[in-house]
Structure 1
Amino acid sequence: MYAVNLKLIKEKRKEKGYSFRKMADLMGFNDKAKYYRRETGEYKFNPEELPVVAKILGIPISKIFILKVSKIETKKEVSK
């Protein structure tokens, strides 16, 4: 299972010196809270928003995703 690499998004945003307001504006949101909630994981990014975030921050789209191992999968591996 894959998850959005929120840590990388946050790091790249800070490297570029973009505020939450700037990212919200670049993404076409009328409120910075809409972007903030996504970056912090309170809400999930919509699939169509991820290529936009990647382009704004100069991140290859493949780097936006990280492999997420569930606790159940980890337990299965340990018990083998």
Structure 2
Amino acid sequence: MYAVNLKLIKEKRVEKGYSFSKIADLMGFNDKAKYYRREKGEYKFNPEELPAVAKILDIPISKIFVLKVSKIETNKEVTK
């Protein structure tokens, strides 16, 4: 299963010097909290928002996603 790479998104935002307000404006959000909650993982990015984030932050869309290993899969590896 894949997850959004929130760490990379934050790193790129900080690297570019974008505040939460600035990126929220670039994303078309009327409130910086909407973006903040997504970057912090409190809410998920909507699928249509991810290409915009990738473009604004100059991240290849393929790098936006990371492979997420579940605890069950990790435990199976340990018991082998």
TM-score (norm: length of structure 2): 0.97
- Unaligned runs of at least 5 residues, structure 2: none
2:15 aligned residue = 15
- Unaligned runs of at least 5 residues, structure 1: none
Paired residues, number: 80
CA displacement 1:10-43 (0-9 Å, x = unmatched):
0000010000000100000000000000000000
**What is the Cα-based RMSD across aligned positions, in Å?**
0.6
CA displacement 1:46-69 (0-9 Å, x = unmatched):
000000000000000000001110
Distance 2:32 2:26 in 1: 10
Distance 1:72 1:44 in 2: 22
Name the SS for the 1:66 alignment partner. strand
TM-score (norm: length of structure 1): 0.97
Percent of residue pairs identical: 89
1:73 aligned residue = 73
Name the SS for the 2:13 alignment partner. helix
1:75 Cα deviation from its structure 2 partner: 1.1
Displacement over 4 Å in runs of 4+: none
1:77 Cα deviation from its structure 2 partner: 1.7
